[in-house]
Amino acid sequence: MQKARLHVCFSGMVQGVGFRFTVRRIAGQYEVTGFVKNLLNGDVEVAAEGDREVVESFIDAICNSSLCDYMRNIEREWEPATEEYNGFEIRF
């Protein structure tokens, strides 16, 4: 499998609704590493690394969860994996 990193920016009413904690819980169901973080502009950023198909499934699981009610827009950008993450964490 091909390892890759995906940066995703979720916009909408995505802060103050448990978004980061739900993303971290979902990440525990997939072999991904990375982080979820609130941005100053009100968006939430997710960086996830792993096998490309697994990362896609992880992001799809986020989009198909109860969080979808809060999302207005999703921007995705693929990058080469750096394998710098040791797990999946919430960053503050």
Q: What are 4-56's pLDDT values in tens digits?
A: 999 999 999 999 999 999 999 999 999 999 999 999 999 999 999 999 999 99
Q: Where are the domains of the chain?
A: 3-91
Q: Which helix (H) or strand (E) element contains residue 9?
A: strand 3-12
Catalytic site positions: 20, 38
Beta strand residue intervals within 14-81, DSSP E:
33-38, 44-51, 71-80
- Written out in words, the top-level CATH class of the domain with range 3-91 is alpha beta
> What is the pLDDT, as a whole number, of residue 74?
97
Which pTM was predicted? 0.95
